[in-house]
Amino acid sequence: MAEPYDIFSKPQQMLHVILTKITAYQHSFSDGRAVELEELKRKRVLSPEDIEFMSSHSVTYKPHRVSDYHAVDMLHMPTDGGCVFVGPGGPPLRKRRGRMAEFESLVVRFLKILRPADELLLHIEFSQDDGMGIAPEMICFNFKSATWLERLQFIRSVAAGFDLHPLQDEEIQAGHTLTYCIPPDPARTAEVAVALLSQGCGLAEEAEIIYSAGALDESS
């Protein structure tokens, strides 16, 4: 029987082990509070080997409460082809629905929410295993199913038309991740996102978009 982390590389497995130690410690507090790295060292939550691994693999740690919607970037590790983020899942996001015809204005409004940029991530759900993310300086795709993997070539073509070059384009965690950096301009990001959705992903103007975002849930 496969171990739980067998789909990950050895460094990624180690990253998940470290995350498990941190979140187990956080759950020992009633409020699941954020914990600074110095406390994790002092309380010996993380071993010297864990700290050495984080240093040798350039892992950065960002404290979050376990209940934070935007805590998925608690641990960040660069890889040969890009990077890996892991963190506690937080509460389930509320699924919302909108039409493609009005999605560009929705993205603009979302990106103008007055919150730290790293807390603004709009999730778009195509299926249980396939989706897209839109942030102030990033657009990314994570696909696993064959149908959506076939759309990657069209997405790359549309992105190239906007002179976007992939920051990450690789198979990772039993799927494929494609990430583009984009200047922090809400109107431009929204325009590119809608083009990628329509021309790249093949969604018609009357299509319904299923989306979610912690920043929307926390402000509602």
Domains defined for the chain, CATH in brackets: 10-86 (no CATH), 96-219 (3.30.1360)
Average pLDDT over every residue of 111-139: 91
The residue behind tokens 């498990």 is 20
Contact 121, 107 (CB under 8 A): no
pLDDT at position 8 is 59
pLDDT at position 2 is 40
Q: Does position 4 have pLDDT exceeding 60, yes or no? A: no
Q: Is the dihedral of CA 189, 191, 194, 195 positive or negative?
A: negative
Q: Which helix (H) or strand (E) holds 87?
A: none
E-assigned strand segments in the chain: 60-61, 75-79, 82-86, 96-99, 122-125, 131-135, 138-143, 166-172, 175-181, 208-212
pTM of the full structure? 0.70
**What is the tens place of the pLDDT at every residue in 167-198?**
889 887 688 999 999 998 999 999 999 999 99
Q: Which residue has the higher pLDDT, 72 or 30?
A: 30
Question: Cβ contacts of residue 29 below 8 Å, gap of 6+?
Answer: none
pLDDT at position 127 is 95
